[in-house]
Amino acid sequence: MKNLFDPVNIAGLALKNRLVMAPMTRCRASGGVPTAEIAEHYRKRAAGGIGLIITEGVLVDHPEARADYGEVPYLREDTVEGWRQVVDAIHAEGSMVFPQIWHCGPVVRPGVAGRSVVDEQGNEVVRLATAKDKEELFHAYSHAAEMAPRCGFDGVELHGAHGYLLDSFMRAGDMGFATEIIRETRLKIGPDMPLCLRFSNWRADDMKDTYFNSPAELEQLLKQVIEAGVDVLHPSTRRFWAHPFKDESLTLAGWTRKLTGLPTIIVGNIGLKTAGLVGSGPGSLESLERLLNHDEFDLAAVGRPLITEPDWGRKVEERQFDQITDFYEAAIKEVYP
């Protein structure tokens, strides 16, 4: 029987367990530079039982990379030292860390994308990428990837989900540009660092806009990104137990792993309500462990529960559910004190 808390080797990387901190934007950087507060934030989650940290989205150095989210960190020359203190703090707790390389593209504000989009009044709100745009974007991603080993990161995740830049190109059928970015990233980080791709079948601004509707369509997407150099996959879903296709035999993570055989990260509502971890319901710890033992995933990413409970991993391993500061309850109290 596989266990969430057993050590595991993923793409040549030795992890102390199968738990991952999912990337979550925090807007706490200073002029795009990660701070000591950010380092301590991640250190606490590593010390609290998380084997792999995937950082908040880290922007490439491009004028349209940043949406209106506040102080999001960048991955560029002037942020290397800041990221080194983050990486060192995580490593000191025996955990590993990937940056999630990100460009917001068409999401939130007008910007460059794989296709132009118009609003209800017929006004273009996102402009189609030109050849010059693509060249600038390529160099921005290339530079960010080059910085990752210099910061001491253990691998890299490319954000190719939720309608952001790379996802917008893939949805528009421009897989050539997306795979060009993946190949360049692989070249810059070298053959031995894990390269993860986060992808999704939903967009942040339209959760019903799917672009692969069968295992065969999913396989076509995965085949191309793997040939380009991806060796870890992170299919993003809103509920980890959901079945994406009419054949309800597998989750999206399950299909991804079955079709590729590559290490796969499952994510989506894990532990959002602490009470839901108990028992045998669809979102329970028991159901998650069952999927693990059916080989539907290799790593499990936890997001919002780690905001309120840095020791979530340790407390779940010890079944101290009553000791967890519940994210959902804390959020409700904030809105309705």
DSSP for 306-331 reads: HHH-TTHHHHHHTT-GGGS--HHHHH
Confidence of residue 107 (pLDDT cuts 50, 70, 90): confident
164 tagged catalytic: yes
- pLDDT, residue 112, reads 85
Between these two residues, 4 and 66, which has the higher pLDDT value?
4
Q: How does 99-124 read in b/e, with b if 16+ C-beta sit within 10 Å?
A: bbbbbbbbbeeebbbbeebeeeeeee
> What pLDDT digit, counting tens, does each position of 13-26 carry?
999 999 999 999 98
Considering only 35-49, 75-89, 178-192, 242-256, which range has the smallest mean pLDDT?
A: 242-256
Task: For the full predicted model, state whether its pTM sits above 0.85.
Answer: yes
> What pLDDT digit, counting tens, does each position of 159-217 carry?
999 999 999 999 989 999 999 999 999 999 999 999 999 999 988 777 777 889 999 99
Q: Which of 164, 211, 328, 336 is catalytic?
A: 164
CB neighbours of residue 77 within 10 Å:
12
- pLDDT, residue 25, reads 92
Identify the bridge partners of residue 117 per DSSP, sorted by sequence position: 126
Between these two residues, 337 and 40, which has the higher pLDDT value?
40
For residue 131, give the 3-state DSSP assignment: helix
- pLDDT, residue 167, reads 95
CATH of domain 11-268: 3.20.20.70
> What pLDDT digit, counting tens, does each position of 283-294 carry?
999 999 999 999
Cα separation of 140 and 134, whole Å? 10
Whether 115 has a pLDDT exceeding 90, the answer reads: no
- pLDDT, residue 316, reads 97
Q: In sequence order, what are the residues at sequence separation of 6 or more whose Cβ sits closer than 8 angstroms to the Cβ of residue 49?
A: 5, 17, 19, 311, 312, 313, 314, 315, 316, 317
Whether 68 has a pLDDT exceeding 80, the answer reads: no
**Shortest CA distance to 56 belongs to which of 95, 3, 104?**
104
> What pLDDT digit, counting tens, does each position of 214-256 carry?
999 999 999 999 999 999 999 999 999 999 998 778 999 999 9
Tokens of 190: 């070298």
* DSSP, res 275: G
- pLDDT, residue 332, reads 77
What is the percent of the chain where pLDDT is above 70?
Answer: 99
Asked if residue 285 lies in contact with residue 305, where contact means CB atoms within 8 angstroms, the answer is: no
Asked if residue 228 lies in contact with residue 182, where contact means CB atoms within 8 angstroms, the answer is: yes
> What pLDDT digit, counting tens, does each position of 286-333 carry?
999 999 999 999 999 999 999 999 999 999 999 999 999 999 888 877
